[in-house]
Structure 1
Amino acid sequence: MTDGKPAGPLRYGWTTGACAAAAAKAAYAALLTGEFPDPVRITLPRGEMPAFALAAHELRPGEASAAIVKDAGDDPDVTHGALVRATVRPGAPGSGVTFRAGEGVGTVTKAGLPLPVGEPAINPGPRGMIAAALAEVAQATGAGGDVEVTVSIPNGEAIARKTLNGRLGIVGGLSILGTTGIVVPFSCSAWIHSIHRGIDVARAAGLDHIAGATGAASEAAVARLFGLEEAALIDMGDFVGGMLKYIRVHPVARVTVAGGFAKITKLAQGLLDLHSRAGAVDFRWLAERVHELGGDGGTVHAVSQANTAIEALEIAARAGLALPQLVARRAHDTAAAVLRDSGVALDIAVFDRDGRLLASAGGAPAAFSSQLPI
């Protein structure tokens, strides 16, 4: 196993949306016929037809419920192993399919998400999958298809604390996600989805300046630097490319990319995924930048042989070279190329581990200059 990823071919899994659709189909079939199909098969949006074993089921007067244990495959998904339950009841004639949030499923409280405020956090993709699965049952039995569906995930509220739901204004539990129904291992689709929704929420709140940070320390530092409220802070992590590409299509007036020296060095090298799996800090590249700044041969060599980015930074600092500033400018070049023709103003902010600003590029020189080391 390398970087948390199992060796060999990776096993795909199923989204919470696919699990909810299968559970709802089994429950609706039992409500109409008295029998639970087990396993229950559904058709996903791209035509795949997986079968799901039921972990629990119950038929009561006027309602039925079925539950499926989510299998996320080899993806490190926080909802792997969660029990996804759907309870169905007859709906009012002509009402179609209506959705309710049960235990552990959140409710939308902020504008900007793909659902209105007050709605259960069952995303449009899963709603479509659930509705299609119920329609199959209705067609086979001659039923009208008016159904109330309550989706619940026991312990979902606790699991949700490990996600970005709170920042997005989803309270009380998890979101039911998945556009394809399939979890691609290590695609980090849930994280990127949260980045996009965070931008949507900030735009809907009328914020004109947002900041994406690589980690908690740089996020706290950039928030202090600009006085940004929580809704303006995007938990970008390593996915600077995913954030910037979305902003190019869904622009804000200004975005700041904030991070430590090592992560911003990777961006300066041209990487848009800053995780170690995508590439490492290139010390030969840093040595070339030291040479560009006028460093002598010994300093250039020492940087090329450094063990860490921080060691390279310290070597350059002892030689009186403004390496962080050059790295910030090169990182700005990489990020600006992604935002081309968008009209979005761009800042790069490089912080040390204590949250002190080491260097900046673009944006607001007055705000930056007051915090740069003399």
Structure 2
Amino acid sequence: MKKPPKDLKGLRHGYTTGSNATAAAKAALLSLAYQEKVMEVEIILPNKDLVTFYMKHVEVHHDFAKASIIKDAGDDPDATHLAEIVAEVRWSDEIIIDGGKGVGRATKSGMPIAVGEAAINPVPRKMLREVAEEVLHETRHTGAEIIISVPKGEEIAKKTMNARLGIIGGISILGTRGTVVPFSTAAYRASIAQGVSVAAENGVDHLVLSTGGRSEKFAISIFPELDEGAFVEMGDFVGFSLKQCKSKKRKRVSLVGMIGKFSKVAQGIMMVHSRSAPVDFRFLRELAAKAGADQALQEKVETANTATEAGNIMREAGHDAFFALLCERAAKNCYDHAGGGIEVEVILITLKKELLSRVVYCGPGSEKEGGQS
């Protein structure tokens, strides 16, 4: 079996649910055609790699066959790692691809699959069709029904964004390259783009972007009127997320996060991962000065260990204007980065989920402070 490749950090790549489902379907089809268990198969991935997959279990009957495989996601913290994926096949007049137990179904538009369809994305569907055609050419049959199921799919789906995206009843069968890249930037961006797309297709004009789980919980508490599809975790991808919202012509976006990342946004940095750019304490000192801090306090801010500590210093000194200034800078930079034409709100909170400041910006002279504590 070809071992999954490793990246430059030595992290092991894995294979997508789409690749595993395709391998299981091929094993089941060949088992049905030969009337004997086929425990290993080779498939060509979308990235053109030829990979051998081994089945966990194969069952053969006269009129149907079933094969299951255990998904290996490599070193990626994937919710579907070690999930069992099952393909059940039988002959038919045409090629039919559908989802069974544990594979979700689309209930909202904006996804790459139609409402009502099983959540088997276009590339995996193409892969499944191609292996079906490959096996059918060796038989007298003209079609096959392929049902993909994931026995624990409903439970696994609770750890994913599926319900928010309108995928109900299980996981999605995904994959565009066939391999899973650990901690993939492309995968995170794709998740953001999909979340924004689903929200837009379902008429959500106000999107709420959070930097993580803690900030999202706070966001949900202050926007209880919004549908859960309005909330998208942008992580470190501030600029990318804003441009996605703008491209979908949304009217308003609220960004919720903490001072560490938002101090970078206030400087005009739109990719806020710690490795992308460090916190600029000189910048924080300048904001402190504008907020009325004396020289001694400014020095404390500049020599703080973290942005959070700098914020605590200003808060304890009663200089709450510091947080409003930071939010104003961040909101303006977000508006400019998106290219204007969208109302931007920045909501700054503490690690304890306390509101520090919130400012709305929709063009020069439009700053509106929405509250402090």
Quote the offset at 1:309 in angstroms.
Answer: 2.2
Structure 1 pair 52–337 and aligned structure 2 pair: CA distance change class (3 A): farther
CA gap 1:307/1:190 in 2 versus in 1, 3 angstroms: same
The equivalent position to 1:158 in structure 2, one of 152, 155, 162, is 155
Following superposition, the deviation at residue 239 of structure 1 comes to: 3.1
Matched position secondary structure for 1:320: coil
Out of 96, 99, 105, the position equivalent to 1:107 is 105
- Identity rate, percent: 39
Aligned AA (1:16): T
Match in the other structure for 2:73: 72
How far apart in 2 are the matches of 1:369 and 1:361? 6
- Contact 1:98-1:147 within 8 A present in 2 as well: yes
Instruction: Kindly indicate whether the alpha-carbon contact (under 8 Å) linking 1:43 and 1:133 is maintained by their aligned counterparts in 2.
Output: no
Which amino acid in the other structure matches residue 83 of structure 1? Answer: E
Superposed counterparts of 1:282-301, under 5 Å: 282-293=280-291, 295-301=293-299
Pick the aligned partner of 2:168 from 164, 167, 171. Answer: 171
Q: Distance in 2 between matches of 1:270 and 1:53?
A: 49
Contact 2:361-2:367 within 8 A present in 1 as well = no
Between the two proteins, the alignment pairs up a number of residues equal to 364
Query: How far off is 1:20 after superposition?
Result: 0.6
Q: 1:148 to 1:367 in 2, by over 3 A?
A: farther
Counterpart position of 2:90: 89
Structure 2 SS opposite 1:287: helix
- The separation in 2 between residues aligned to 1:114 and 1:44, in whole angstroms, is 20
Q: Shift in Å at residue 357 of structure 1?
A: 4.8
Matched, 1:372 2:369: no
**Cα 1:153–1:189, aligned 2, differ >3 Å: closer, same or farther?**
farther
Q: Do the aligned residues in 1 keep the contact of 2:57 with 2:68 (CA within 8 Å)?
A: yes
Give the match for residue 203 of structure 1: 200
Equivalent in the alignment of 1:3: none
Measure the CA separation in 2 of the matches of 1:89 and 1:344. Answer: 52
Matches within 5 A, 1:1-374: 8-91=9-92, 93=93, 95=94, 97-139=95-137, 141-187=138-184, 189-226=186-223, 227-293=225-291, 295-317=293-315, 318=317, 320=319, 322-340=321-339, 343-352=341-350, 353-363=352-362, 369=369, 371-373=371-373
Q: CA shift at 1:345, angstroms? A: 2.7
Calculate the TM-score normalised by the size of structure 1: 0.87
80 and 272 in structure 1: CA distance in 2 versus 1, 3 angstrom threshold? farther
Q: Secondary structure at the match of 2:163?
A: helix
Task: Please say which of residues 268-277 and 78-87 is displaced more in the overlay.
Answer: 268-277
Unmatched 5+ residue regions in structure 1? 1-5
Letter in 2 for 1:73: G
| Mapped partners of 1:325, 1:367: distance in 2 | 10
Q: Structure 1's 320 and 130: CA in aligned 2 closer, same or farther, altered over 3 A?
A: same
2:99/2:149 contact within 8 Å kept: yes
C-alpha distance in 2 between matches for 1:308 and 1:145:
66
Q: Deviations over 1:205-254 (max 9, x none)?
A: 21211111223443344445453232222233333234223223333122
**The residue matched to 1:29 in structure 2 has which SS?**
helix
Long gaps (5+) in structure 2: 1-6
State the distance in 2 between where 1:81 and 1:242 align: 31
The worse-fitting range, judged by mean Cα deviation, of 265-274 and 255-264 is 265-274
CA distance in 1, matches of 2:327, 2:335: 12
Instruction: State the Cα deviation string for residues 312-355 of structure 1 (Å, max 9, x = none).
Output: 112223163622222223322442344126x3332222233334
CA contact (8 A) 1:21 1:133 kept: yes
